[in-house]
Amino acid sequence: MRSDAAKIDNVLPYMKYSRQDRMSEPRTPISSRIVADLIQEKAYRVITTDLHNPAIQGCYKIPFDNLKAYPIIIKNLKENYSDFLENAVIVSPDIGSAVRAKSYAGRLGLDVVLTSKERKKAGSVDKMTIIGDVSGKNAIIVDDMIDSAGTLCKSAEILREKRAKRIYACATHGLFSKNAVERINDSCLEKVLITDSIPQKSNGKIEVVSLTGLFGEAIHRVSHGESISELFN
């Protein structure tokens, strides 16, 4: 602002506090709304990717582009893991991720398997049920983010018990808290594809897929007044 910019576009590959989108308990803050108020005080536009809850966009009164990372991840899968895809199913880690799983499945021509989780408290899974057949098939668990990786590794264990052959996981945001990387490397997961929306490097079973091209193209189109609708396809 002090340099007299015509407009300011906020490019936020990972939108922080996006999980704090409602009051989970009385008198707790809705931090995503607070962040929205702070950002749009000066910014003209927001460009991000894979919001945990897309409804957060309703908190903004400025142009908001929530890009999708799965086309980039799918391209990587097709180019580098075509053999794995020949006998694979897409696994949604919970009912809330079913739409994302269908997006992957539709573009890869694969079936979808759902998992249903029961929690007694946040961060731990007490019971998990697989809805669909994974026996003798490769499984790809898809989600928007990986935090402690506890649920992810638990899902992989259940899939292995159901006789899935090889198990991969794909996600956009890698928070990797609470020894998540070590937990993944010690699990029955064979590979985890994650983007660099949060800067990180490939490590053990974790492989980083870059979103540089996606955001570079989005910034170019916005700067030149061009449509970015193609980037959502």
Q: Tens-of-pLDDT digits for all 233 residues of the chain?
A: 667 788 899 999 999 999 888 887 888 889 999 999 999 999 999 999 999 999 999 999 999 999 999 999 999 999 999 999 999 999 998 887 889 999 999 999 999 999 877 655 555 555 778 889 999 999 999 999 999 998 899 899 999 999 999 999 999 999 999 899 999 999 999 999 999 999 999 999 999 999 999 999 999 999 999 999 888 76
Give the model's pLDDT for residue 93.
Answer: 86
First to last CA, the chain: 34
Give the model's pLDDT for residue 83.
Answer: 97
Contacts of 136 (CB under 8 A, 6+ apart): 87, 163, 165
Give the model's pLDDT for residue 119.
Answer: 59
Q: What are phi and psi of 193, to 5 degrees?
A: -95, 125
Catalytic residue, chosen from 68, 102, 117, 162, is: 117
**Which residues partner with 140 through β-bridges?**
90, 168
Give the model's pLDDT for residue 129.
Answer: 84
Give the model's pLDDT for residue 204.
Answer: 92
**Which residues partner with 144 through β-bridges?**
none
Region(s) of the chain under CATH 3.40.50.2020: 9-68+213-232, 70-209
Q: What class, spelled out in words, does domain 9-68+213-232 have in CATH?
A: alpha beta
What's the whole-model pTM score?
0.90
**What is 70-209's CATH number, 3.30.1370.60, 3.40.50.300, 1.10.10.10, 3.40.50.2020?**
3.40.50.2020
How is residue 66 written in tokens? 């929530």
CA distance 111 to 109: 7
Q: What are phi and psi of 105, to 5 degrees?
A: -60, -40
Give the model's pLDDT for residue 160.
Answer: 95
* 68 catalytic residue (yes or no): no
**Which amino acid belongs to residue 69?**
A
Q: Are 155 and 183 in contact (CB under 8 A)?
A: no
